[in-house]
């Protein structure tokens, strides 16, 4: 991998280094954040790329005392072990092994749970358990600055992928509601630019998910089963062929939620709508 970005200061006490892993799924690359002054934490070390890890180590303004992981997808955790050894800093994450896509070589040294505080002297980060994208997902909230490090719970300008079995649409909607109840002003996502006006961003995500869920429900028949793949082709007709399996998995996540709500039925050949269901759901 080449083309490592330089550290960019987002605000006092927060630097961002973009990992050199651009792709249709990661956008410009995975965001790694350095938070703190004399005592620092690195959030999501990103890929195991020597130049990227060099940039993180060099940019830290003080001692790195913790490496924080939002979730165990390889683009967020790949460099964790090597960076931890280099900086002699423990890796913290929510202690849950994923069942689907995961970094099989990743193992946190210390657990973090909902409500735990990472004290960096000048900055305190609060761990917020936000399952949905994955079951182990954590966000980190700097309450005094109103800044949320959102991992892949929120991404800039693209829709977060929810892939069963680790992804859960109902859990994701609940996590969004949880975040809406917090005094969040800005969002530092796992991919893409810093997002201003966090309440509007979160409200737009919720609205989009509700609209998409209605579209999925309206694609169903009461007597002819539809597959997730068939629905995805209808809803995303111009989608890059490389992303079609992901789109079908997204639709499946909505279908599972519709079954939970009593608005759809899973059968051998696909999915049916429940005729007397209310397509508004909310």
274's tokens: 């429940």
Cβ-Cβ contacts under 8 Å for 2 (sequence gap 6 or more): 20, 51
- Nearest residue to 41 (alpha-carbon basis) of 73, 71, 4, 80: 80
- The number of residues making up the chain comes to 282
Q: What are the structure tokens assigned to 15, written together?
A: 């630097």
Q: What is the mean pLDDT of residues 70-93?
A: 96
> Which ranges of 10-49 does DSSP label H, i.e. alpha helix?
none
Please answer whether residues 261 and 220 qualify as being in contact, where contact means their C-beta atoms are separated by less than 8 angstroms. Answer: no
In sequence order, the β-bridge partners of residue 226 are 271
> pLDDT higher for 241 or 212?
212
- pLDDT category, 282, cuts 50, 70, 90? very low
The angle that helices 169-180 and 244-261 make with each other, rounded to 10 degrees, is 80
Is the pLDDT score of 281 beyond 70?
A: no
Helices (H), 193-243: 198-219, 228-235
Q: Give the largest Cα separation in the chain, rounded.
A: 64
**pLDDT averaged over the chain?**
93
Rounded mean pLDDT of 39-61? Answer: 96
pLDDT in tens, 184-238: 999 999 999 999 999 999 999 999 999 999 999 999 999 999 999 999 999 998 8
Give pairs for 176-180: CB < 8 Å, separation 24+: 176/132, 176/202, 176/205, 176/206, 176/209, 177/206, 178/128, 178/130, 179/128, 179/130, 179/139, 179/148, 179/153, 179/154, 180/206
Q: What is the pTM of this model?
A: 0.93
Whole-number pLDDT of residue 3: 57
Structural domains in the chain, sorted by start = 8-196 (3.60.15.10), 217-273 (no CATH)
Please tell me the predicted confidence (pLDDT) of residue 279: 52
Per-residue pLDDT band at 139 (split at 50, 70, 90) = very high
Q: Which of 8-17, 75-84, 95-104, 137-146 has the lowest mean pLDDT?
A: 95-104
pLDDT digits (tens, 9 = 90+) for 4-30: 678 999 999 999 999 999 887 888 999
Query: Looking at residue 277, what is its pLDDT?
Result: 56
pLDDT band at 158 (very low <50, low <70, confident <90, very high): confident
> Which is it for strands 31-36 and 14-18: parallel, antiparallel or unpaired?
antiparallel
| CA gap 134, 155 in Å, rounded | 14
């Amino acid at each position: 991998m080449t083309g490592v970005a330089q550290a960019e200061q987002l605000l006092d006490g927060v630097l961002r280094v973009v990992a050199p892993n651009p792709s249709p799924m990661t956008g410009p690359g995975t965001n790694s954040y350095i938070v703190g002054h004399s005592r620092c934490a690195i959030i999501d070390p990103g890929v195991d790329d020597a130049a990227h890890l060099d940039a993180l180590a060099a940019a830290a303004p003080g001692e790195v005392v913790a490496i924080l992981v939002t979730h165990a997808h390889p683009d967020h955790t790949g460099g964790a072990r090597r960076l931890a050894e280099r900086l002699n800093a423990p890796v913290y994450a929510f202690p849950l092994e994923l069942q689907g896509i995961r970094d099989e070589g990743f193992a946190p040294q210390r657990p973090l749970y909902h409500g735990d505080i990472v004290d960096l002297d000048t900055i305190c980060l609060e761990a917020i358990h936000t399952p949905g994208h994955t079951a182990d997902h954590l966000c980190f909230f700097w309450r005094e600055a109103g800044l949320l490090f959102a991992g892949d719970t929120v991404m800039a300008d693209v829709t977060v992928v929810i892939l069963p079995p680790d992804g859960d649409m109902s859990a994701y909607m609940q996590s969004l509601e949880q975040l809406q109840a917090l005094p969040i002003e800005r969002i530092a996502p796992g991919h893409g630019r810093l997002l201003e006006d966090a309440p509007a961003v979160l409200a737009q995500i919720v609205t989009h998910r509700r609209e998409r869920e209605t579209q999925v429900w309206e694609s169903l028949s009461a007597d002819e089963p539809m597959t997730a793949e068939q629905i995805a082709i209808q809803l995303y007709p111009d989608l890059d062929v490389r992303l079609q399996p992901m789109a079908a998995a997204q639709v499946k996540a909505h279908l599972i939620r519709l079954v939970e709500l009593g608005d759809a039925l899973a059968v051998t050949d696909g999915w049916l709508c429940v005729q007397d269901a209310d397509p508004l759901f909310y």
